[in-house]
Amino acid sequence: MRRVPARTSAASPRSAVPSSGRRRAAAAVLAVALIVPLAAACGGEDKSGAQGKGESGGTRTTIKVLAAASLTNVFAKAGAAYEKDHPGTTVKFSFAGSQQLAAQVNQDFPADALVTADTKTMDGLKGKTSAPAVIARNRLVIATADGNPKKIKALKDLADKKLKVVLAAPAVPVGRYSKKVLDKQGIEVQPVSQEQDVRGVLSKVELGEADAGIVYATDAMTAPGKVDAVAIPDDQNAVAQYPAATLKVSQHTKEADAFVKWLSGAQGQRILRDAGFQKP
């Protein structure tokens, strides 16, 4: 007759640990689970992107620059060049019409520096910025479709009611400059639209939604093969000035000051000249 082995009465590993010990172990696991994500949240870059770790392990500062829309292309190059020579700083730009940028500054929007397309807008922000410095100048041109199919030769041609002309709104620096030059020549233009920044005007011409528009010379240069630029004589033109300043709300004043100063330096000026901007 086969004998069945007797069962052991030894306790299982789980039952070998007293209930009080299990509670202490569970509490320890919970504490570790809470500490790990907290520690991760405290390290590296914060949610605003203001600081983080650079490749060398040092602290890297991000500065935010509010800049006029007409600086979009040139500042992409300027920012890359600056970061290359200043490995501890990242430069991020926010582009819009100068009047929109001013509204943000008046609301104490968290940024570090400001560059507008006119001194009037910057002057209206006294108390919000450091002393501004003009970093560049610009002039107006008439943007037309590639090849200038409507044969536009001068400002007076824009008065032709058969033409679809687009201008920037009067509150926008380029719109204000455009009105100034047209009024000076006694030319009345009925625009098909008024845009919130110069890039809006350029886009309308590029897309064929307008026959012509008044833009900065540097903006026309950014669309080769898409638009032509008809020069406006100096005695009929207006000169746009671009002042730059550090914002009083900046949390990175030293870094912002350094970037603003760099724009007036040899390398910054060379990049601006290459893009068609004129000397301050």
246-261: pLDDT as tens digits = 999 999 999 999 999 9
Answer yes or no: is 34 within a domain.
Answer: no
**Mean pLDDT value across residues 228-244:** 97
The pLDDT of residue 11 is above 80: no
Return the axis-axis angle of helices 253-263 and 72-85, rounded to nearest 10°.
120
Please check whether residues 158 and 125 belong to one and the same domain: no
Please check whether residues 121 and 183 belong to one and the same domain: no
Q: How many domains does the chain have?
A: 2
Please check whether residues 185 and 233 belong to one and the same domain: yes
pLDDT reported for residue 50 = 52
Please check whether residues 130 and 143 belong to one and the same domain: no
Q: What distances in angstroms separate CA 197 from CA 6, 15, 55, one per listed residue?
A: 91, 75, 37
Please check whether residues 115 and 183 belong to one and the same domain: no
The domain in which residue 161 lies consists of 138-239
Please check whether residues 131 and 252 belong to one and the same domain: yes
Please check whether residues 85 and 169 belong to one and the same domain: no
Q: How far apart are CA 11 and CA 131, in angstroms?
A: 81
**Mean pLDDT value across residues 171-195:** 97
47-92: pLDDT as tens digits = 344 555 544 456 889 999 999 999 999 999 999 999 999 999 999 9
Answer yes or no: is 75 within a domain.
Answer: yes
Please check whether residues 163 and 248 belong to one and the same domain: no
The pLDDT of residue 12 is above 60: no
Express as a percent the part of the chain with pLDDT over 70. Answer: 79
90-121: pLDDT as tens digits = 999 999 999 999 999 999 999 999 999 999 99
pLDDT reported for residue 59 = 84
196 CA to centre of own chain:
15
The pLDDT of residue 170 is above 90: yes
Please check whether residues 93 and 166 belong to one and the same domain: no
Answer yes or no: is 150 within a domain.
Answer: yes
The pLDDT of residue 270 is above 90: yes
Answer yes or no: is 279 within a domain.
Answer: no
Answer yes or no: is 68 within a domain.
Answer: yes
Identify the residue with better confidence: 76 or 23: 76
Please check whether residues 130 and 247 belong to one and the same domain: yes
Please check whether residues 106 and 195 belong to one and the same domain: no
Answer yes or no: is 38 within a domain.
Answer: no
The pLDDT of residue 153 is above 60: yes
For residue 99, the surrounding DSSP H or E stretch is helix 98-106
Answer yes or no: is 3 within a domain.
Answer: no
Identify the residue with better confidence: 18 or 148: 148
Please check whether residues 120 and 145 belong to one and the same domain: no
Among candidate residues 112, 49, 61, the one with its CA nearest the CA of residue 86? 61
pLDDT reported for residue 167 = 98
pLDDT reported for residue 33 = 39
Mean pLDDT taken over the chain:
86
pLDDT reported for residue 22 = 46
Answer yes or no: is 2 within a domain.
Answer: no
CATH number at residue 56: 3.40.190.10
pLDDT reported for residue 58 = 62
Q: Give the pTM.
A: 0.79
